[in-house]
Amino acid sequence: MNASIAIPAGGAWFEGHFPGRPILPGVATLALVLDALARETRYPVSLRGMVFARLRQLVLPDDRLELGTRELGNGHTRFDLQRAGALVANGELILGPPAEARPPLAAVAASVFPFDAPPLAALLPQRPPMRMLTAILSATDDGLSCAAAVPAACALVSGGSAPALAGLEAAAQAAAAWEAMRRWRAGDGAVPRIGYLVALRDVVFFAERVPAGLALSATVRLEAAAPPLSYYQVEVALGGRPIVRGTIATFLAAGS
């Protein structure tokens, strides 16, 4: 299947991501790929998981992208997204209904207040309506648990909910907040830096969509680091039930 994807010149997709530096959020790129797949196949597409996805180049306002997809023998779908012949993103999708959730994980410890941290605006470059974190719940040497919500005004939201992919944006923001807190604790001041979501692996979705405005928990734990690249195990849950789990990699932009 081949399709063209036209990125708008501005507007909701770029609100708050980032002020003065419009970049399409990585999860929005993936959401647009799924939309195009549904449009071309004229059939609703639900995402059960991703074997992997690589976001290789920034997607900017007014970009014209070409999507190619191919079904693999195992029922997975491979996609390549290109701009003028250069690979912008690729991955292997597992389409189908969401996975059955295993029993909920033990609740995140919420007993660590009072908690000493800079305000979120000093940790994260994302601004409303693309900032999803609402509070830091607990921090450890290797990870962070946050409260989050998908703002109703976020471009991913339609009809009161967003694709569960939005949960991965919340997780990426939790990873960015953890890195910013680590810099702050090391005495480097609380300065937000732009980090890009560059890779996703072994992602499993337990819900198709996530309602806007409801309190989510986003937990990230550092799995490996090869600076400026960091890998995190992530889980985003709603009311103790998982929405999405997987591994993400973020890349800290130089001098951002």
If one asks whether residue 20 binds another protein (CB under 8 A), the answer comes out as no
DSSP label at residue 143: E
**Using an 8 Å Cβ cutoff, are 164 and 243 in contact?**
yes
Cβ-based neighbours of 33, under 8 Å, separated by 6 or more: 5, 67, 79, 81, 89
| 248 scored as a contact of another protein (CB under 8 A) | no
Q: Does 84 bind another protein (CB under 8 A)?
A: no
Structure letter (DSSP) for residue 175 = H
Burial (Cβ within 10 Å: 0-12, 13-18, ≥19) of residue 57: middle
Tell me the number of residues near another protein by CB under 8 A: 18
Q: For another protein, which residue of 40, 78, 182, 193 counts as binding (CB under 8 A)?
A: 78
Which of 87, 135, 153, 215: binder of another protein (CB under 8 A)?
87
Is residue 199 within the footprint of another protein (CB under 8 A)? yes
Q: Is 224 in the site for another protein (CB under 8 A)?
A: yes
Q: Does 221 bind another protein (CB under 8 A)?
A: no
Which window, 48-56, 136-144, 176-184, 236-244, contacts another protein (CB under 8 A)? 48-56
Query: What's the rounded Cα separation, in Å, for the pair 32 and 210?
Result: 17
What are the residues whose beta carbons fall under 8 Å from the beta carbon of 188, sequence distance 6 or more? none
Q: Does residue 51 interact with another protein by CB under 8 A?
A: yes
Of 52-60, 61-69, 213-221, 236-244, the segment contacting another protein by CB under 8 A is: 52-60
Q: Residue 175's closest CA among 118, 229, 232, 253? A: 232
Query: Which one of 44, 119, 227, 255 is in contact with another protein (CB under 8 A)?
Result: 227
Q: Which stretch binds another protein (CB under 8 A): 60-68, 121-129, 152-160, 225-233?
A: 225-233
59 lines the binding site for another protein (CB under 8 A): no
What is the closest distance, in whole angstroms, from the C-beta atom of residue 242 to another protein in the complex?
24
Nearer to another protein, 61 or 228 (CB): 228
User: What count of residues does the chain have?
Assistant: 256
Helices and strands (H and E) in the chain: how many = 3, 13
> 250 Cβ partners below 8 Å, 6+ apart?
172, 175, 176, 179, 195, 196, 197, 198, 229, 230, 232
33 binds another protein (CB under 8 A): no
The residues binding another protein (CB under 8 A) are 51-52, 54, 56, 78, 87, 91-92, 198-199, 224, 226-229, 231, 249, 251
